[in-house]
Structure 1
Amino acid sequence: MQKLTAFSISGLLLGAIFFALSLTPSLIPRNAYVQGILSGFSFTVGYSLSVLVRYVWKYLGVPDIPLDHRQRQILRGLIIILGVSLILVFLRQGTEWQNSVRSLMGMPAISGVAPITIGVVALCVFLLFRWAGKGFLRVVLRVSARLEKTIPPRVAALTGLLVALLLYWSVLNGVLLQSGLYAVSLIYEKLDLIVVANLPPPQDPSKSGGANSLLAWDRLGHEGRRFLSLGPSAEDIREVAGEGMDPIRVYVGVHSADTPQQRALLALEELKRVKAFEREILLIATPVGDGWIDPGAVNSLEFLYRGDVATVAVQYSYLPGPIVLFTDAQSIRTSARILFKVIYDYWEELPVNTRPRLYLYGLSLGAKLSEDSFQFYDVIDSPINGALWAGPPFSMRSWRMITDNRDPGTPAWLPQFKGGEVVRFGNQYGGYLGQKPWGRFRIAFLQHASDPIVFFDFRWAFRRPDWLERPRGPDVSPDLRWFPVVTMLQLLADFNVGVTPRDFGHRYSAAGYTLAWIALTEPPDWSEAELQRLRAKLKIFPKR
């Protein structure tokens, strides 16, 4: 039992080092609770790595340095003093490090990093993992001890390990995870079906969701009703551009039809009913997991084209993006592909000179699904006009390939690829540069240098990220350093994306989208004075 209860002194030292390094800055600011969780998990990882190395050391029969009891006690005391001192020094510096990130994002400085809160939360995290680890080890030891009477010890130990893994996986996956997902699904489905009083159906019966629509208002989902209700009107657009019309928006909820094919066909029929194919721009917008579409993306395009835009979106789930990606990844990809094919096949048959320009849009998971919705060889004979993908997640195939093979001398956070003939990158400050003319088919990536969803990668556990090379992105702290394993854990903690203001991290603004749409689509007849009025309008729009 001593082996299960005693602390590893080398583990405490490496854990303290990982704890201290976790206090250094990363891409976005962290509050005390997130920092505590990160530091506690970092300590646990460091401690566990040391214990694992120690186990392998003993397994290989490598002799320890000979020390008597008094020498071991002195060494233990020195290591504890060193670890505690290291943590205290880094905690003191933590305030300055966090403010180095906050200042770049225009956030107010903090006066301290709440070391007591961080310490208590970190301790709870470590003890929780230690408790789980001790339970796991008990299962391994008890099973192997029983089996050693009949089979060789090493086979018994391996069998005990497999039994413990199977038991823990069954509990986590079969009981906790499945039960949790079921409860979350019920909650989000009920929330999605709630029709709030301040989002009434359109008064114009011809509009999508109105009395003559093919889409029932109460089956569009909460995000669908918001999307159809809160867009700019012709009056809003005329206030900025002098002239304008009501944009067209079509949104099909997950409850509007039973299958992805039926929902896609319903979207097409509604588009035809509202004469969407007579507009200048047709946009297929792919939502994030729960059906949300960033309003700044669509609002900005509608203003730039004075309302001559039709946007279609189909909800594929009412669950948050990470959950739906984990539980139903193939289904949501299928939904995106079916919608694109149904719309594209009809669009392709229209006269080339009169059909709308066709663009795709997606943010985060929506960008990845938008990418997956078509293959280039499917559209090579009649290509769409382009795509705007914002906050592309690190798992996005085309983004990673292009970034890894960027033109020499261009930074990873704002790369150029093959002279910018097809693909260009931009951020909240501009970009979209290229040495070659931008072709007819265009892809624009809108990404902030401080976006952890974009720049996370498991490779950063053992490799320094390219985006840390100089020059760095303007919103990345100069104090950010790479540390093996710890930096990757920091980026995972940075997935708490809601703490940054817009234009930083994973929060994209209408102003950033405006720059992207101007570069991608080149809207005509916009003076700098009109663009200034547009930016001012988008800052306060929508009104509710």
Structure 2
Amino acid sequence: MAHAAGDDPGPNSATHDLVVVPRPPGAGDLLVTARLRWPGLLGATVLGLSALSPSFLPRTWWMTAFNLGLSLTLGYGLGLALAWLLRLFARSTGLVVQMRAGAARWVRLVLALVLALLLLDGVRRSIVLQDDIARRLRAAPYPTTDHLLGIVAGLVLFGALLLLFRSLRALFRLFRRTSRRFLPGLVSGVVSLVLVVWLVVFVSNDVLFARFVESASRKATEVNAETPPGRVPPTESTRSGGTGSPETWESLGRQGQGVVADGPRRARIEEVTHRPAKEPIRVYAGKRGDRSLEETADAVVVELERTHAFDRSVLVVMMPAGEGWIPEWHPSSVEFLTQGDSAIASMQYTYLPSALAYVTDKSTAEQAAQVLFGKVEAAVHRRPPGRRPKLYIAGESLGAYGGQAVFTDKDDLLRRVDGAMWTGTPRMSRLWQELTTQRQPGSPEIAPVIDDGHHIRFVTERQNSVNDFYGRPLGEWRAPRVALAQNPTDPIVWWSPDLLWREPDWLRERASTRVTSAMRWMPWVTFSQIASDMPRSVDVPGGEGHRYQEDLVPLWAGVLGKDPMADYRSIQEAMRADYHVF
């Protein structure tokens, strides 16, 4: 029952204070206390159950642990913060809430039972939904033991994070006690808080993260010096690292060696297509410490001139992702579809994997694309108009992000290229955001329609190259033709920082049946879930997650001016047989 602050509940009434009676100084704080408190446990349960809800991809144990541990910690802190605000309100109004000791024990018991039942039901639902997601993606579900291990590991992570915050709380109190000797109380508290925050930022960024990046960079440099399994220097003069090339095999780096060693030769193209073919041209310049981005791009142009690439019908500037990696489905599609009458030009700008390169220095990807495309474009324009190859740009993931930064807007893109093909574009791309914002009313965010599809088409499945997402025919696909492929289940495309506070259109519209209907937007939870999907986004069947494979053949056909709905199975089967992953 409730009493005013000055009321006497009676000498014989055994009571227990639940909410608002002031605690002794130092008994707790906003985030971590010496013991687990019920408001925090309530908040942790709510956010923890939300963290077990589904996202794009089936979760491994560590994905579950990551989401659950962080969400439990945040929920616990929010629960304590809400309780603190309620205490402030009660103190300001003089309200006291009291309960008999026996009743309080029963409330705790019932509350503990309810929380336990909710947690068990949440675990059960999570396992069922994870299996459903695996079936949707045509992937094998993870065993139940993986889910249970993830939950246990998440609880351990929760405990470790609480200990960390408890240590920071103790450090804050130490600073405050020390500073009170010569500073007023409020000032000493502010100064102590600033010192703790500065220490956390310094240790996190300048010590832990800096050392991690340094170690990763050193490892990436070592890996770059290794030759990928089964690859040998090309013998053709039409490839960098081959006969007559100033770019040595060793200078190309691991990924560059894979680019020039792989791919169909003329004989293979003729075998598959039953038509005469040319020897495809592939030029590549690796990252070297003794030359800048401009000098590396100049080396690419030298290779294009040496191989007579400007005499080919099609020239594609293909921006790689991290490490210099190019997915083989892109260049091979072009080479089969053009009967080898093509040239692929690329260069390495970082040794780091895509994820780390994007976090630490995504501007280098933009600069590299601007420099390389600009120099190739200038070389093309130096030739007489009737003797110029058609100029295309392409890339996947970080390569798509960098390639789109070449152009100021849609009109600049259509003015400077004969076509473009981008797959798995991170949604932070400025051009991607501009195009998506300009989509026609009624077209969903996962497959925007731009100007009735006359030049630019977003593709979630093959049919989108001729129809919109709902099956309605698009207009004539005129040159220059641009395609942006993005799987509805690709976390690289759909993750963004604003998931923390805003429900995205793609989730609110619920346009794709490939995304489970049980997925809901929740502040923080959706943000962390999709972030944890990213590392596993390539460990799914082609056409899902961040894997773009067979459908690139008909899509490239459309970009090159051919029929995107024709039968390309012989090319797809040949590429599947020849494609080497390392």
Q: TM-score, normalised by structure 1?
A: 0.93
Partner of residue 538, structure 1: 575
Distance 2:68 2:414 in 1: 54
Q: 1:48 aligns with which of 72, 77, 92?
A: 77
- 1:147: how far off? 2.5
Counterpart amino acid of residue 304 in structure 1: L
Distance 1:115 1:388 in 2: 38
1:230 aligns with 2:262: yes
**Where does 1:110-189 land on structure 2 (aligned, <5 Å)?**
110=142, 112=144, 114-189=146-221
- What's the secondary structure of 1:387's corresponding residue? strand
Higher Cα Rg: structure 1 or 2? 2
Superposed displacement of residue 465, structure 1: 2.8
Contact between 2:405 and 2:430, CA under 8 Å: does it hold in 1? no
Q: Which residue of 2 aligns with 1:19?
A: 48
Residue 443 of structure 2 is matched in structure 1 by 410
The whole-number CA distance in structure 1 between the counterparts of 2:565 and 2:505 is 38
Measure, in 2, the Cα distance between the counterparts of 1:11 and 1:440: 60
Q: What SS does structure 2 have at the residue aligned with 1:299?
A: helix
Return closer, same or farther for 1:439/1:226 CA change in 2, 3 Å cut-off: same
2:485 is matched with which residue: 435, 446, 469?
A: 446
Q: Which moved more, 1:493-502 or 1:261-270?
A: 493-502
Deviation by residue 1:226-276 (Cα, 9 ceiling, x = unmatched)? 010011111111122112222110111002851111101111011000011
Q: Where does residue 226 of structure 2 map in the other structure?
A: 194
User: 1:493 matched to which residue of 2?
Assistant: 532
Q: Quote the residue 1:503 is aligned against.
A: 543
Post-superposition offset of 1:523: 3.2
Distance 1:440 1:200, change over 3 A: same
- Aligned to 1:431, the other structure's residue is in SS state helix
Do the aligned partners of 1:100 and 1:479 also contact (CA within 8 Å) in 2? no
Shift of 1:376: 4.8
- The alignment status of 1:297 with 2:337, answered yes or no, reads no
Comparing 457-466 with 304-313, greater Cα deviation is found at 457-466
**Aligned residue type for 1:227:** V
AA at the equivalent of 1:102: A
Task: Say yes or no: does 1:522 pair with 2:561.
Answer: yes
Q: Is 1:35 the counterpart of 2:64 in the alignment?
A: yes
- 1:368: which partner in 2? 401
- Separation in structure 1 between the aligned mates of residue 559 and residue 455 of structure 2, nearest angstrom: 10
CA contact (8 A) 2:410 2:431 kept: no
CA distance in 2, matches of 1:303, 1:208: 20
CA RMSD of aligned residues (A): 2.4
Q: Distance in 2 between matches of 1:476 and 1:275?
A: 47
Distance 1:360 1:313, change over 3 A: same
Q: Residues 386-424 of structure 1, C-alpha deviation per residue, up to 9 Å, x if partnerless?
A: 221110102111212322332111122112123223321
Superposed displacement of residue 516, structure 1: 1.9
Structure 2: give runs of 5+ residues left out of the alignment.
Answer: 1-25, 469-473
1:482 corresponding residue in structure 2: 521
Q: Which residue of 1 is the match for residue 22 of structure 2?
A: none
SS in 2 for 1:394: coil
Distance in 1 separating the partners of 2:565 and 2:156: 58
Pick aligned residue for 1:7 from 19, 25, 36: 36
SS in 2 for 1:226: helix
Native 8 Å contact 1:199 1:226 kept in 2: yes
Note if contact 1:296-1:513 (Cα within 8 Å) is conserved in structure 2: yes
Shift in alpha-carbon separation, 1:378–1:116, aligned structure 2, 3 A: closer
The structural deviation recorded for 1:381 is: 10
Which AA in structure 2 matches 1:219? S
Answer with 222-231 or 257-266: which moved more. Answer: 257-266
RCO (CA 8 Å, sep 6+): is it higher in 1 or 2?
A: 1
How many angstroms does 1:113 deviate by? 5.5
Aligned to 2:8: none
Q: Which residue of 1 aligns with 2:295?
A: 262
Instruction: Report the Cα distance in structure 1 between the residues aligned to 2:411 and 2:291, rounded to whole angstroms.
Output: 27
Shift of 1:354: 2.1
Change (3 A) 1:241 1:527: farther
Note closer, same or farther for the CA distance 1:150–1:409 as it changes in structure 2 (3 Å cut). same
Q: Over residues 193-252 of structure 1, what are the superposed CA-to-partner deviations in whole Å (9 max), with x where a residue is unaligned?
A: 123573221123553212410101101110000010011111111122112222110111
Relative to structure 1, the CA distance from residue 451 to residue 442 in structure 2 (aligned partners, 3 Å threshold; closer, same or farther) is same
* Per-residue deviation, 1:288: 0.8
Distance (Å, rounded) in 1 between the aligned partners of 2:315 and 2:54 = 42
- In the TM superposition, 1:223-372 aligns within 5 A as 223-243=255-275, 244-255=277-288, 257-372=290-405
Moved more, 379-388 or 336-345: 379-388
* Cα distance in 2 for residues equivalent to 1:460 and 1:173: 23
- Tell whether the 8 Å contact from 1:29 to 1:500 is kept in structure 2 after alignment: no
Q: Which amino acid aligns with 1:330?
A: S
1:492 & 1:372 partners in 2: Cα distance? 23
Change (3 A) 1:50 1:335: same
Taking the aligned partners of 2:27 and 2:414, their CA distance within structure 1 comes to 71
- Number of paired residues? 541
**Alignment pair present for 1:512 and 2:541:** no
1:464-475 maps to which residues of 2 (within 5 A)?
464-469=503-508, 472-475=511-514
User: TM-score scaled by structure 2?
Assistant: 0.87
Distance across 2 between alignment mates of 1:380 and 1:467: 25
Distance 1:268 1:378 in 2: 26
Deviations 1:146-180 (A, max 9, x none): 22343332322221111001111111122211112
- Are the counterparts in 2 of residues 406 and 417 from structure 1 also a CA contact under 8 Å? yes
1:66, CA displacement in angstroms?
3.4
Report deviation, 1:36: 2.1
* Distance across 2 between alignment mates of 1:187 and 1:67: 61
Q: Give deviations 1:310-351, integer Å, cap 9, x for gaps.
A: 011110001112222333333332222111111111112222
Aligned to 2:427: 394
- Map 1:376-391 → 2, pairs under 5 A: 376=409, 383-391=416-424
**Is the partner of 1:487 in helix, strand or coil?**
helix
Over 3 Å counting, the alpha-carbon distance change for 1:120 and 1:144 in structure 2 is same
Deviation at 1:527, TM superposition (A): 9.4
Rounded to whole Å, the distance in 2 between the matches of 1:424 and 1:156 is: 59
Relative distance call for 1:480 and 1:78 in structure 2 (3 A) is same
The structure-2 alpha-carbon separation of the partners of 1:471 and 1:130, relative to structure 1 and needing over 3 Å to count, comes to closer
- Post-superposition shift, 1:460? 2.9
* Aligned: 1:421 with 2:437: no
Quote the Cα distance in structure 1 between the aligned partners of 2:414 and 2:489.
38
Partners of 2:163 and 2:484 lie apart in 1 by 45
> How far, CA to CA, are the matches of 1:303 and 1:211 in structure 2?
23
Distance in 1 between residues matched to 2:327 and 2:413, nearest whole Å? 29
